[in-house]
Amino acid sequence: MTPGELATRTGLTTGPTTRLIDRLEQAGYVHRVPDPGDRRKVIVEPAGGPADLDRIMTPARQRIGAILAGYSPEQLDVLFDYFARATEAYQEAAEQLRG
């Protein structure tokens, strides 16, 4: 995706998004490539393939799975409702800050 699309999805402004991409690039997780449709733009791509990302994320996913396994179905419903609603609230707040 373009840095602008990443900024929109994360709710960050362009400055913090650029710093985020710089850090991810320095760590070797992403790289910038020219947009084939518009030479003025760049695309941010993962440096590794999906299998590499899965390998990196597997330990965290396993720990989160173990944590979630300790909750009842009713508790999980409340947690998932909270996170969905909190996500919307943070996205709306970010939009208000930008606008």
Digit-coded pLDDT (tens) for 16-72: 999 999 999 998 889 999 999 998 899 999 887 666 778 888 999 999 999 999 999
Whether residue 85 sits in one domain with residue 56: yes
Say if residue 54 is in the same domain as residue 26.
no
Q: Where are the beta strands (DSSP E) in the chain?
A: 30-35, 38-46
Q: What sign for the dihedral angle of Cα 68, 72, 73, 78? A: negative
Q: Are residues 36 and 12 in the same domain?
A: yes
- How much is the pLDDT for 96? 85
Q: Looking at the DSSP assignment, which residues form a beta bridge with residue 34?
A: 42
So what's the pLDDT on residue 50?
A: 66
Which one has a higher pLDDT value, 54 or 4? 4
State residue 60's pLDDT score. 95
Same domain? 22 vs 63: no
Say how far apart CA 11 and CA 31 lie, in whole Å.
Answer: 21
Report, as an integer, the average pLDDT of 66-81. Answer: 97
Give the CATH number of the domain where residue 27 resides.
Answer: 1.10.10.10
Q: Give the per-residue pLDDT at 11.
A: 80
**What total number of domains does the chain contain?**
2
